[in-house]
Amino acid sequence: AIRMTQSPSSFSASTGDRVTITCRASQGISSYLAWYQQKPGKAPKLLIYAASTLQSGVPSRFSGSGSGTDFTLTISCLQSEDFATYYCQQYYSYPRTFGQGTKLEIK
């Protein structure tokens, strides 16, 4: 199985900050990567697919980049509603695998 490793595991930031979360795959996955946001007690929400394509309705302050093994999710100007846990997930091969998550907390 392809292992997905996110960093950092948790992070404190302030509203207005620019934040970058990284995700590394244990083998090349081309651009078969999605990013999800999850708030406590809620289902995950798709933010980005194909590594850099913004899902419809997602604010443009979210962006994704990378291909192969190294990927990033950037939030350009943190809003209060962005404090949540973020997961990357590869869909290059089965089993589909998620990163362990990055919890973004208010500083």
Partner 1 sequence: EVQLVESGGGLVQPGGSLRLSCAASGFTFSSYSMNWVRQAPGKGLEWVSYISSSSSTIYYADSVKGRFTISRDNAKNSLYLQMNSLRAEDTAVYYCARDSVSYYGYYMDVWGKGTTVTVSS
DSSP 65-98: EEETTEEEEEESS--GGG-SEEEEEE-SSSSPEE
The site for partner 1, by CB under 8 A, has a size of: 29
The bridge status of strand 102-106 relative to strand 10-13 is parallel
Rounded Cα gap, residues 66 and 18, in angstroms = 18
Shortest approach of partner 1 to residue 103 CB, angstroms? 10
Query: Is residue 98 part of the contact set for partner 1 (CB under 8 A)?
Result: yes
Question: Per-residue string for binding with partner 1, 33-52, x by CB under 8 A?
Answer: -x-x-x---xxxxx--xxx-
Q: Which residues contribute to the site for partner 1 (CB under 8 A)? A: 1, 30-32, 34, 36, 38, 42-46, 49-51, 53, 55, 87, 89, 91-92, 94-101
